[in-house]
Amino acid sequence: MITGSDFVAALREAGITDIPWLPDSELGRWESALAAAITPRLIRVCREGEALAIAAGLLIGGRTPLVAMQCTGLFEAGDSLRNFAHDLKLPLRVLVGVRSWRAYLQQQTADTCPSFTIPIIEAWGIPYRWLDGTMADLLAALNEPGPRFYLLPE
Amino acid sequence: MTVHEALEVIARNRGEQIVITTMTAVAIWPELSDTPLDFAYMPSAMGQAPGLAQGLALASARGVIVIHGDGCTLMNLGCLVTLAHTPADVTLIILDNALYEVTGGQPPAGAGRTDFAALARAAGIGRVYAFSEHNDWQSLGPQALNGKGPAVIHLRVEGRMGQKAPRPHRTMSDQIQRLREAICR
């Protein structure tokens, strides 16, 4: 399991400068480590579309952000994603916690989130990869160019 | 005051700040200014220009003026809280014409009644201004535009009917390239 300090170390090693985010219960475990870090800078937002907008400004200005959100926020953020990834063609990278994914695979949840996450990501035409929860995999993922989604099964 | 009059004051007093225009302002701004620091955010994500400005200001250590509408601000009121929480040198100008101008002039919710200055203060923005008369904006605008952000300026302007969605004079990729070159100098 990746700890908060592991996560911050991986972000630093990958050159991530800023992390606009709206956490869920899984990502939220890393909150204290991120809040304590000077780099990357944690930027709290009110909604996920806004996180993508801030990341877009950071990218144009020469920074290297990673956006973090839950899949529910991804559903909300579609207009931002369409605009910044496709109209402005910015290499956004987004870490998405996929709620109830493990239970969904075992057909043990009534949560509708997991069934819509992949179809929606594929509809937006942006590459994605699942994270396996190891540091090595996280580091490899963060060194891939954007635009890209990193999916964290929950 | 007309939109043109409101924008003239910004053009005269923006100094070296980046100016992001949206919707109505995209059509008029090139008559007043056309520099690499002018960014016509069109096509846009609805309500997201303030976030774009905040990211740019945090990245470039340069002031950013973002010219927004009342309708698109209502789509993302959380931006006021986000800007107050992570302060950046952003001046958010809300041109309040009480209309969705490019869709045929329909009124947004709360048209003409919403107090954007009060919303900004309640969100924690320290520098907040509101003007409805051109003379007041002309005389006090320079001070409002040249302090350190975050700041919010609510300008009540005349609505115009029969407007269409404007098109920027340059492609988005050209705009991004020349803005990057300008802020990296």
B42-77 pLDDT, tens digit each: 999 999 999 999 999 999 989 999 999 999 999 999
Asked whether the beta carbons of residue B51 and residue A45 sit closer than 8 angstroms, the reply is yes
Question: Are the C-beta atoms of A14 and A142 separated by less than 8 Å?
Answer: yes
Query: B47: buried, middle or exposed (CB in 10 Å: 19+, 13-18, 0-12)?
Result: buried
Asked whether the beta carbons of residue B180 and residue A62 sit closer than 8 angstroms, the reply is yes
**pLDDT on residue B76:** 97
Give the chain A residue whose CA is nearest to the CA of B83: A45
CB atoms closer than 10 angstroms to residue B170: 15
**pLDDT tier, B159 (very low <50, low <70, confident <90, very high otherwise):** confident
Please name the residues in contact with B174: beta carbons below 8 A apart, sequence gap of 6 or more.
none
Which helix (H) or strand (E) segment holds residue B66: the answer is: strand B64-69
Asked whether the beta carbons of residue A61 and residue B58 sit closer than 8 angstroms, the reply is yes
Query: Among residues A110, A105, A43, A47, which one has the least CA distance to residue A75?
Result: A47
Domain ranges in chain B? 3-183
**Chain A 34-73, CB below 8 Å of chain B: which residues?**
41, 43-47, 49-63, 65
**pLDDT tier, B161 (very low <50, low <70, confident <90, very high otherwise):** confident
| Predicted-complex ipTM score | 0.96
Query: Among residues A94, A78, A87, A86, which one has the least CA distance to residue A146?
Result: A94
Give the bridge partners for A70, in sequence order.
Answer: A97
Sheet containing B38-40: give its strands across.
Answer: B38-40, B18-21, B64-69, B90-96, B151-156, B127-131
Give the chain A residue whose CA is nearest to the CA of B54: A54
Enumerate the H helices of chain B as residue ranges. Answer: 3-13, 23-32, 49-60, 70-74, 78-85, 116-123, 134-146, 172-183
All residues of chain B having their beta carbon less than 8 Å from the beta carbon of residue A61 are: 55-56, 58-60, 180, 183
A102-123 pLDDT, tens digit each: 999 999 999 999 999 999 999 9
Residue type, B154: H
Distances (CA, A) of A61 to B16, B17, B64, B140, B153: 15, 14, 12, 30, 24
Enumerate the H helices of chain A as residue ranges. Answer: 4-13, 31-36, 48-60, 71-76, 78-81, 101-105, 113-124, 135-142
**pLDDT on residue B103:** 86
Quick one: tokens of B184? Answer: 């990296």
Quick one: tokens of A80? Answer: 């931002």
CATH of region A4-153, choose from 3.30.499.10, 3.40.50.410, 3.40.50.970, 3.20.20.70: 3.40.50.970
**pLDDT on residue A107:** 95
Residue type, B72: C
| Domain covering B3-183, topology | Rossmann fold (3.40.50)
Quick one: tokens of B110? Answer: 């709360």
Residue type, B45: A
A46-88 pLDDT, tens digit each: 999 999 999 999 999 999 999 999 999 999 999 999 999 999 9
